[in-house]
Structure 1
């Protein structure tokens, strides 16, 4: 399938899921009442929520800049911010966030960053990003039974499904990242499989290039294995990054002047939504995230505040992130296009 057709299918799928989500969430609701309630929210706290989203995107750029620096690859901070925004934009619009890293690798190649280096760096980012979620989910499952039973009783199967999928994904990524001989064998077997299906031609030069690429990949992965302090620092920054995004719901809670529920509780409950929806084949967890919010936060945003709170929380955490990263991605595309044309 051509890249253009794939992009069209992704766009159509995104629009279908979006309109189905809007219909299912707002069916039978008075939109004017919801809008009136939203206007009563404190703009100061909403701005703080938006700031959390910007920090969320910036944090990944800081991680990328740090990892490239440890591997002696030159990359400007603003360029890393561009990579980060591009990744989040394509993750937001593709099922299971599958389009983020390929898009980042594409733009990194445009800036002469070797594909094996980009691949390992992004793999480390993904592993730590998912691992923080898995650790939070496992701790909740073991030590947070009271919290889960009180707020997630109706959606417990979805939570455990999401947690299981994230654990399996993390284990697979860890094997590929640090069991380099296995990663090389998989790559070579995949190439042979594509040749047998006549999707690719049997060219010795292609096999040689893949071998050199995997050798470079192995060297990069080996460096990171030998410098575990790098992974510890990246994990700590990733933890702060995740907390920032989950804090959006807390600021929405404060924006409505509500009291009584601790910030830690709100952040943990928001994390359960990400754990549940992160690996499902829906762009940005669209649809399932909204319905999980309405179920989990019903005892907290009681009465007429529940739906407006969902609109603001989801609107800031997902749609503001989508629009902001889309603007940066568009700017990056224009910049690359002009550079290629030599203007």
Structure 2
């Protein structure tokens, strides 16, 4: 069902973007782009994926869980691949937890680590969104007037999401009650059987979870380091559009404006129930980047920017996921 939904959204996106366009002329324009800058854009995507693997490696290390860096890179690929193909990027963390469990990493630890990563990932977007709204009024008026409703919705949803995750991370009792409530609901729906063994495993996991959250509370510098790396990570992906802009030999718009425009799109679509923000991301790009690329290079700019930042990321992370499937857990078995 998810695959069918993904193909459906992809088909609508292709139709909406390319309807009535001269594909031959589009391809001709794209082939004239400077390959050097496009290569830098691809390297930004690789760096983006690599940054999360460094965060996973760092946080697992502080929690005395040993991992190889290449294995953490596979975890990162798994997360981005499933996030790219599921609505609201909801499939990434469960898939990562599954593969981490195959490597004997306790679910309580992997869940908390990935929740912290998700929190910081979204916190950077919230910071950028609020910064634009509160301190960049001229920028908002100049570029974002046409997408303000969607942008405001994105900021609001990310703020709510961050608040919920903060509560789950720093109030383990709340998390325990939530999990036990879900367990009871599954029992009532006859999806699982209520056994003392399952309940004991849940409570044991929550004890580990509580110990881990206590450790993070006492070592706030770990969170600070993760936030710094995450900020660099997110900005690196937004720079893809800037390098596409340079690839066409354009000038006149600062790197800051281009990066913040791409960040605004991410803020707007991050929580929407569409795989990788597909469809809406393209629409927003074609709306707010007109002053940057102009009418002639707007569509080619969008195709290259979106193609590198999303579709290249999808292909690279898919390759990493395939490797992970055949590598992770096999050695121990």
Instruction: Classify the TM-score, shorter chain.
Output: over 0.9
Written as runs of structure 1 = structure 2, the 5 A alignment for 1:188-207 is 188-207=180-199
Partner of 2:14: 22
The answer to whether residue 275 in structure 2 is matched with residue 317 in structure 1 is no
| Cα displacement (A) at 1:338 | 5.4
Written as runs of structure 1 = structure 2, the 5 A alignment for 1:236-275 is 236-275=228-267
The answer to whether residue 322 in structure 2 is matched with residue 306 in structure 1 is no
Local SS of the residue matching 2:227: helix
Partner of 2:270: 278
C-alpha separation in 2, matches of 1:225 and 1:123: 14
The answer to whether residue 148 in structure 2 is matched with residue 132 in structure 1 is no
| Cα displacement (A) at 1:336 | 4.2
How many residues are aligned here? 333
Partner of 1:69: 61
Q: 2:80 aligns with which of 77, 88, 102?
A: 88
C-alpha separation in 2, matches of 1:101 and 1:80: 13
Partner of 1:3: none
Partner of 2:160: 168
| Cα displacement (A) at 1:193 | 2.0
Runs of at least 5 residues in structure 2 that lack an aligned partner in the other structure = none
The answer to whether residue 102 in structure 2 is matched with residue 110 in structure 1 is yes
Q: Runs (4+) of structure 1 moved beyond 4 Å?
A: 336-340
The answer to whether residue 42 in structure 2 is matched with residue 50 in structure 1 is yes
C-alpha separation in 2, matches of 1:277 and 1:82: 26
C-alpha separation in 2, matches of 1:11 and 1:228: 40
Partner of 1:150: 142
TM-score normalized with structure 2 length: 0.98
| Cα displacement (A) at 1:200 | 1.8
Partner of 2:25: 33
| Cα displacement (A) at 1:339 | 4.8
The answer to whether residue 117 in structure 2 is matched with residue 122 in structure 1 is no
Which whole-Å deviations, capped at 9, do the CAs of 1:212-266 have from their partners, x for residues lacking one? Answer: 1111111111111110000000000000000100000000000011111110111
Local SS of the residue matching 2:290: coil
Which whole-Å deviations, capped at 9, do the CAs of 1:292-321 have from their partners, x for residues lacking one? Answer: 000010111002100000000000000000
**Closer, same or farther: CA 12–300 of 1 in aligned 2, 3 Å:** same
| Cα displacement (A) at 1:209 | 0.9
Q: 1:235 aligns with which of 227, 230, 236?
A: 227
Runs of at least 5 residues in structure 1 that lack an aligned partner in the other structure = 1-8
C-alpha separation in 1, matches of 2:175 and 2:96: 21
* Conservation of the 8 A alpha-carbon contact between 2:103 and 2:329: no
Local SS of the residue matching 1:301: helix
TM-score normalized with structure 1 length: 0.95
